[in-house]
Amino acid sequence: MAAEIGEPPDDPGNPTVNFRGQKRSNATHASTTDPEARLARKGRGREARLSFMAHALMENHHGLLVDFVVTAATGTAEPDAVPVLLDGARERGFRPKTLGADKSYDTVDCVVAIRARGVTPHVAQHTTRRRSAIDGRTTSWPGYALSQRARKRIKESFGWAKTVGGFRRTRYRGVKRTGFAGYLVAASYNLVHLANLLIRPALPAAT
């Protein structure tokens, strides 16, 4: 007769918790090391992870970052960050005329906030099971298509921040400390990118 082998005793300091079949939400699950982190997912069907949200404002001409902030992952963090970024840019003397953004920013409140600051919202239309806040009065202009192409350059800065800047995982707790670290990473990206712009060979003059 074979003897039954039971489960090894659980570690009382780090007990095993089985969440299978349970729905995770910020109301039921929280980080034990950083209470300000929130569950967020990158897309439909993706797993939720404890995260912060990073937001960057980029000028289209050279691809340099005008501002960089980190916020809690509230579910509306992306459109909520737009007024903060635009107001901060205005305080530093920037006067953007248009703002290109992906469909996460296609909400009525976000579009109204952009227009209220004298900026034209070149936001990608989000028409999946709902109506877009951007209509043909905006999308018909040639500048809208240009903004949509240029806005994708923002991914270069986020890619650099994750791979070179070491910002794929935060090393600090809380929004303020993580935001300060992110701001330094964004400033480093600008310095590296600026150096690359300065060493680019000049185009030959037309004859």
List, for residues 58-85, the tens digit of each pLDDT value.
998 899 999 999 999 988 999 999 999 9
Q: pLDDT tens digit string along 142-178?
A: 999 999 999 999 999 999 999 999 998 888 999 999 9
Q: pLDDT tens digit string along 33-62?
A: 788 888 887 766 667 788 899 999 999 889
Distance CA 58, CA 69 (A): 12
Amino acid symbol at 91: E
pLDDT recorded at residue 197: 87
Distance CA 156, CA 162 (A): 10
Q: pLDDT tens digit string along 12-25?
A: 554 555 555 556 56
Distance CA 152, CA 136 (A): 22
Spatial CA neighbour of 147 closest among 158, 159, 134, 160: 134
Measuring CA to CA, how many Å separate 32 from each of 21, 51, 75, 85, 171? 21, 13, 21, 31, 15
The token pair at 18 is: 């089985």
Distance CA 96, CA 90 (A): 8
* DSSP H stretches of helix in the chain: 77-91, 108-116, 136-139, 142-150, 154-163, 175-199
Amino acid symbol at 127: T
Q: Thinking of the domain 48-199, which architecture would CATH place it in?
A: 2-Layer Sandwich (3.30)
Answer whether 0.85 is exceeded by the pTM: no
Distance CA 151, CA 101 (A): 6
